[in-house]
């Protein structure tokens, strides 16, 4: 990790609900995401996690404050950021390989390079054998791996993921989390991942940004010190480390405090 890549300073977001009504979803949030790190946004439902991610993606504008990525202020979507959503977003009429090639085609990457990159990222997410299959022939976890490969193939500086494994069963989710550690290690992609799953947060995060609810404010910034700066690629190992259950308990308390607050 070398320096800050994403800098979020005093960001607030107020939605206009019409008829003179407004809703402040995010209030004065500041944090930084270091280059090559995994930053997890955690907090109860409605605390503004997706809103913050969408502002980083440039899909929403901040009402106040500023988001800077690699020295440039975000003022809209850009190729430096790739987003993976909770819902499967593959093109059903294209093969898996063509899905992964799609963004590169739009960006006029030559056919041979496109093919090579697609195969590289399909291999990375363990889908080489399914390159010629169609998304409808794949399981949910495999479809989400297609989305990850497709997004990575566009070579984003920051990978943004909004509850990417929320729709998957527990076992697949677990394998996907391990895959993301592997992808982070192999590609050095900076990631911002939204979840409300505590275990997922502890497993994936180099840093956890815990948000309080209504409006979303920064409640705590937590670096899981027990990992001692390393990523741990298997779950059986991490849950046995000293400090794991203390952090889980701490996050549970934070979640309970926030979850019971009146809206």
Least distance from Mg ion to the Cβ atom of residue 227, Å: 26
Cβ proximity to Mg ion: between 51 and 189 the closer is 51
- Contacts with ligand ATP: how many residues (CB under 6 A)? 13
- Measuring CA to CA, which residue among 93, 86, 38 is closest to residue 230? 38
Shorter beta-carbon distance to ligand ATP: residue 70 or 166 = 166
Examine residue 23 and tell whether it contacts ligand ATP (CB under 6 A). yes
Looking up tokens 């298997």, which residue turns up? Answer: 234
Q: How far is the CB of 136 from ligand ATP (least distance, A)?
A: 27
Tally helices (H) and strands (E) across the chain.
8, 10
Residue 174 binds ligand ATP (CB under 6 A): no
50 makes contact with Mg ion (CB under 5 A): yes
Interface with ligand ATP, residue 87, by CB under 6 A? no
Minimum distance, C-beta of residue 15 to ligand ATP, in the bound complex (Å): 3
Q: How many CB atoms lie within 10 A of CB 234?
A: 11
Residue of 219, 208, 215 lying closest to 27 (CA atoms):
215
Tokens of 167: 């729709």
- Asked if residue 11 lies in contact with residue 67, where contact means CB atoms within 8 angstroms, the answer is yes
Rule CB under 6 A: say whether 12 interacts with ligand ATP: no
**Binder among 8, 31, 39, 48 for ligand ATP (CB under 6 A):** 48
Is 35 or 219 the residue whose CB approaches ligand ATP more closely? Answer: 219
Binding ligand ATP (rule: CB under 6 A), the pick from 196, 207, 219, 231 is: 196
Position 46 contacts ligand ATP (CB under 6 A): yes
Shortest distance (Å) from residue 25 CB to ligand ATP: 3
Task: Report in angstroms how near the CB of residue 104 gets to ligand ATP at its nearest.
Answer: 30
In this structure, are residues 203 and 191 in contact, taking their beta carbons and an 8 Å threshold? no
The CA distance from 139 to 22, in Å, is: 41
Q: How many CB atoms lie within 10 A of CB 250?
A: 15
Which partner, ligand ATP, Mg ion, none, binds residue 156 by CB below 5 to 8 Å per kind?
A: none
Indicate the DSSP class of residue 123: H
Helices (H), ranges, the chain: 49-57, 96-106, 111-124, 140-153, 170-187, 198-204, 235-238, 244-259
Q: Which residues bind ligand ATP (CB under 6 A)?
A: 15, 17, 23, 25, 43, 45-51, 196
Q: Which residues bind Mg ion (CB under 5 A)?
A: 50
């Amino acid at each position: 990790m070398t320096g800050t890549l994403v800098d979020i300073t005093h960001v607030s977001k107020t939605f206009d609900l019409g008829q003179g009504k407004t809703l402040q979803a995010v209030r004065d949030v500041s944090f930084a995401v270091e280059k090559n790190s995994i930053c997890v946004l955690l907090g109860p439902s409605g605390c503004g996690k997706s809103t913050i991610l969408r502002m980083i993606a440039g899909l929403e504008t901040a009402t106040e404050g500023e988001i800077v990525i690699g020295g440039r202020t975000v003022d809209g979507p850009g190729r430096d950021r790739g987003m993976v959503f909770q819902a499967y977003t593959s093109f059903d009429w294209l093969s898996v390989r063509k899905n992964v090639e799609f963004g590169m085609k739009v960006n006029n990457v030559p056919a041979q390079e496109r093919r090579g990159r697609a195969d590289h990222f399909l291999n990375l997410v363990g889908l080489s054998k399914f390159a010629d299959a169609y998304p409808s022939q794949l399981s949910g976890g495999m479809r989400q791996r297609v989305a990850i490969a497709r997004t990575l193939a566009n070579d984003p500086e920051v990978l943004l993921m909004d509850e990417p494994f929320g729709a998957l069963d527990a076992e697949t989710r677990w394998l996907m989390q391990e895959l993301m550690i592997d992808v982070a290690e192999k590609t050095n992609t900076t990631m911002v991942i939204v979840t409300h799953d505590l275990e997922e947060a502890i497993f994936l995060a180099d840093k956890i940004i815990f948000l309080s609810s209504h409006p979303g404010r920064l409640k705590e910034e937590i670096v899981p010190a027990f990992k001692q700066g390393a990523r741990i690629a298997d779950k059986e190992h991490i849950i046995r480390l000293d400090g794991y259950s203390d952090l889980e308990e701490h996050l549970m308390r934070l979640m309970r405090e926030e979850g019971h607050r009146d809206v």
